[in-house]
């Protein structure tokens, strides 16, 4: 078997969910499990949170159906709502909470034949300008939907654009826009993603929507998981499958982009971009061998990458190589590759086996 595995600590996810809840006592929380639970495996994550999560949030009807099959009662929020008129019927069958962010969605909802009313979350575009109604249109649609036979609860939701920048004026403005609508008689309100759960208590409202923090990665550029009291859930472990000594001036990998400036020992590692490791990780990106940090050198290829083992001469073929883990946060690897932990976690590909542990 190819020596590459993503080990997922389900107790870390349960711990991180509890951290989110502790940040906002008395509030409820949708655990965001879209995109295969950010790469961690939706089945296992929903099962691990079955008895503790108040609800789950997903991006599509297909994802919602998967969660419903695992959990008969939990509230399941469709974050972008339905994508076509015929989906409302299925959403009602599955007993989902649906976001409504366009006039077309609202019209389709009202025109649908539903087995039972749907809990609806009207989405306010409070400044991100990606999804949602402006305040005037939202007030208007509140009038049409409130008390409609198709609508069970009528709720309010919005999303922060810059909550990862602490003290951002943008977030302040978005919060104000949200608060200005609270004269309307919404049953429930939801605004906070992980960054806001952790740093903007005024945004906690009734329902939290923790995503990245559940998986033990940070939404902030300047605040690490340890400081936030979170436990990383995934470690990605490969192996040294070859080692060689090279001379000064020798090049490594495709394009020969990295050249040795000293006699060097090069290790070849069983992980590449087809596994989800970022191809654009620059030379110097850390990986861990025998407990020590060593540097990525040369281009990442499809199934392999190469590292400089010169300072760990005892390293040998068969040694484990940690691409990320508790001691090497995924956020640090992401930064070196010009991306964010969200992308690396959710892009670990299907060919990487997941192993689960609970402590």
Ligand X SMILES: Cc1ncc(COP(=O)(O)O)c(C=O)c1O
- Smallest gap from residue 131 Cβ to ligand X (A): 8
81 binds ligand X (CB under 6 A): no
For ligand X, the nearest residue by Cβ is: 211
d(CA 288, CA 39): 22
**21 among known catalytic residues:** no
The one segment of 203-211, 241-249, 272-280, 294-302 that binds ligand X by CB under 6 A: 203-211
159 binds ligand X (CB under 6 A): yes
d(CA 345, CA 6): 10
Altogether, the residues listed in the chain come to a count of 359
d(CA 194, CA 31): 10
Q: What is the token pair recorded at 109?
A: 């909802």
**What x/- string results for residues 209 through 248 when contact with ligand X is judged by CB under 6 A?**
xxxxx-----x-----------------------------
Nearby residues of 96 by Cβ (< 8 Å), 6 or more positions away: 61, 64, 68, 76, 77, 78, 118, 119
Of the listed 17, 21, 34, 88, which one is catalytic?
Answer: 34
Compare residues 118 and 213 and give the one whose CB is closer to ligand X.
213
Compare residues 98 and 287 and give the one whose CB is closer to ligand X.
98
194 binds ligand X (CB under 6 A): yes
The one segment of 39-47, 181-189, 204-212, 343-351 that binds ligand X by CB under 6 A: 204-212
d(CA 22, CA 91): 31
39 binds ligand X (CB under 6 A): no
Please answer whether residues 276 and 237 qualify as being in contact, where contact means their C-beta atoms are separated by less than 8 angstroms.
no
**88 among known catalytic residues:** no
306 binds ligand X (CB under 6 A): no
d(CA 290, CA 227): 25
Q: State the catalytic residues.
A: 34, 254
């Amino acid at each position: 078997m190819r020596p590459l595995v993503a080990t997922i600590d389900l107790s870390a996810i349960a711990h991180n969910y509890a951290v989110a809840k502790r940040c906002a006592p008395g509030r409820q929380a949708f655990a965001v499990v879209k995109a295969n639970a950010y790469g961690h495996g939706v089945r296992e994550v929903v099962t691990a949170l079955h008895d503790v999560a108040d609800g789950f949030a997903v991006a599509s009807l297909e994802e919602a159906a998967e969660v419903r099959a695992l959990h008969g009662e939990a509230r399941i929020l469709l974050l972008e709502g339905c994508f076509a008129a015929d989906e409302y019927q299925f959403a009602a069958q599955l007993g989902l909470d649906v976001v409504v962010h366009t006039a077309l969605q609202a019209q389709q909802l009202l025109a649908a034949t539903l087995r039972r009313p749907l809990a609806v979350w009207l989405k306010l575009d409070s400044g991100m300008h990606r999804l949602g109604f402006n305040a005037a249109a939202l007030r208007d649609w509140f009038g049409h939907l409130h008390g409609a036979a198709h609508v069970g609860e009528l709720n309010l939701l919005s999303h922060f654009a810059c909550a990862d920048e602490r003290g951002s004026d943008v977030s302040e403005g978005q919060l104000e826009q949200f608060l200005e609508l609270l004269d309307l008689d919404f049953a429930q309100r939801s605004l906070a993603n992980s960054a806001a759960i952790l740093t903007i208590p005024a945004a906690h409202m009734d329902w939290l929507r923790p995503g990245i923090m559940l998986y033990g990665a940070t939404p902030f550029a300047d605040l690490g998981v340890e400081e936030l009291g979170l436990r990383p859930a995934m470690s990605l472990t490969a192996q040294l499958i070859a080692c060689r000594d090279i001379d000064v001036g020798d090049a490594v990998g495709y394009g020969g982009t990295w050249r040795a400036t000293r006699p060097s020992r090069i290790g070849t590692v069983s992980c590449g971009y087809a596994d989800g490791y970022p191809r654009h990780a620059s030379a110097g990106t850390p990986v861990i061998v025998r407990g020590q940090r060593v540097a990525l050198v040369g281009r990442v290829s499809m199934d392999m990458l190469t590292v400089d083992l010169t300072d760990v001469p005892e390293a040998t073929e068969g040694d484990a190589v940690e691409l990320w883990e508790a001691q090497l946060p995924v956020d640090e690897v992401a930064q070196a590759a010009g991306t964010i932990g969200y992308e690396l976690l959710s892009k670990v590909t299907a060919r990487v086996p997941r192993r689960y542990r609970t402590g």
